[in-house]
Amino acid sequence: MRDKITTSLRLYSILIYIFLYFPIALVVLFSFNSGNYAADMQGFSFRWYGETWRDPFVLEALRNSVFIAATSATLATVFGTFAALALQNVRGWLRTLYDGLIYIAIIIPGIVIGIATLIFFVQFFGWLNPWLQILFGPSAPKFNLGLPTVIAAHTLFTMSIVLVIVRSRIAGMDRSLIEASNDLYATPFNTFWQVTLPQLLPAIMAGFLLAFTFSFDDFIVAFFVAGPNTTLPIYVFSSIRRGVTPKINAIATVTLIMSLGFLFIVQYLLTRSNASAKKDGE
């Protein structure tokens, strides 16, 4: 009886995994198709990877995506880390409020962030641009939706992710290390550089990689605020309307491998830093 239950449970979970990963496996498989159609496997080749690499539209979108992801992840890492450091000294109801706001920023649906930032930018630029015209004449710069607005929107929500990761590392850190450094004649500034930062570095790097991945994979927010620019997900979305080509599969496969690779590194960094935090706390 028990055996039967175990067997059927096992079967069930296998089905779940097939259901989850079969489509993804198909995408990867068909990206190696040598034929012209996405769903008609002719033979194995790297042909579509080559074609993708030579496509100027893809390259343009890729450049935009990498630029946005790198810039927004850097900004998010800097802001998130400093926010986490500053929040150490906040206690009581104010702390609860901040924590609540951070978690809300993480769980808020992308579409809400997209609409909200779009409305904000449109309103803000609609107010700012006339003033700039008045102040600096017709040659004044004009602000519009573009890569910077995507970067700003991405920084907004990835910053919270960095903050949460770095903060949990700060909480697990041994306070006496900082006191020991103080005791050994290091000024607060040197203590920060020589002890605090190295201790937080794995978490900071993990936060950067996660922020990069989230930004790189994001379609919804970018779609709202990118203006006339394309990012890789936007390119994929718009070209799908003209039918799925093996090229799309190739792009999806590369994105998938890169994201998985980053997540793997993040996981490694975080478990390692937690393990060493446990050791310090002994």
Partner 1 sequence: MKQSALDIDVEFRNVVKTFGTITAVDKVNFQIPKGSFYSFLGPSGCGKTSSLRLIGGFEQPDSGEILIAGESVAYIPPYQRHVNMVFQHYALFPHMDVASNVGYGLRQQRPRISPDEISKQVKDALALVRLSGYEKRRSWELSGGQQQRVALARALVNKPTVLLLDEPLAALDRKLRKDMQVELKTLQREVGITFVFVTHDQEEALSMSDRIAVMRDGKIVQEGSPTDLYRQPLDRYVAGFIGQSNFISGEVVEAGDQVKIKTQRAVILQAPKSKVAKTLAVGDKAVVAIRPERINLRNQNEAGSDGFAGKVAQITFLGDQTEYHVETEQVGRLLVRMNSGYAGYASGDPVIVYWNQDAGLALLDD
Q: Does the footprint of partner 1 cover residue 115 (CB under 8 A)?
A: no
Smaller CB separation from partner 1, 50 or 188: 188
Is position 177 an interface residue for partner 1 (rule: CB under 8 A)? yes
Residue of 199, 213, 231, 249 interacting with partner 1 (CB under 8 A): 199
Residue 153 in contact with partner 1, rule: CB under 8 A? no
By CB under 8 A, residue 205 contacts partner 1 = no
Minimum Å gap between C-beta 276 and partner 1 is: 5
Decide if residue 9 touches partner 1 (CB under 8 A): no
By CB under 8 A, is residue 206 in contact with partner 1? no
Q: How far apart are the first and last CA of the chain?
A: 46
Cβ 176 to partner 1 shortest distance, Å: 4
Region binding partner 1 by CB under 8 A among candidate stretches 47-55, 132-140, 194-202, 211-219: 194-202
Q: Is the dihedral of CA 135, 141, 146, 149 positive or negative?
A: negative
Closer residue to partner 1, CB minimum distance, 125 or 192 = 192
Q: Determine the interface stretch with partner 1 among 42-50, 101-109, 178-186, 232-240 (rule: CB under 8 A).
A: 178-186
One symbol per residue from 214 to 253: x for binding partner 1 (CB under 8 A), - otherwise; what is it?
----------------------------------------
Provide long-range contacts, Cβ within 8 A and 24+ apart, for 253-256: 253/27, 253/28, 253/31, 254/49, 255/216, 255/217, 256/24, 256/27, 256/28
- Pick 242 or 279: Cβ nearer partner 1: 279
Stretch that binds partner 1, among 84-92, 135-143, 176-184, 242-250 (CB under 8 A): 176-184
**Is 282 a binder of partner 1 (CB under 8 A)?**
yes
Binding window for partner 1 (CB under 8 A); candidates: 39-47, 65-73, 187-195, 237-245: 187-195
- C-beta of residue 110 within 8 angstroms of C-beta of residue 221: yes
Q: Which is nearer to partner 1, 72 or 181 (CB)?
A: 181
Residue 184 engages partner 1 in binding (rule: CB under 8 A): yes
Interface residues with partner 1 (CB under 8 A) are 174, 176-177, 179-188, 190-191, 194-195, 198-199, 276, 279-282
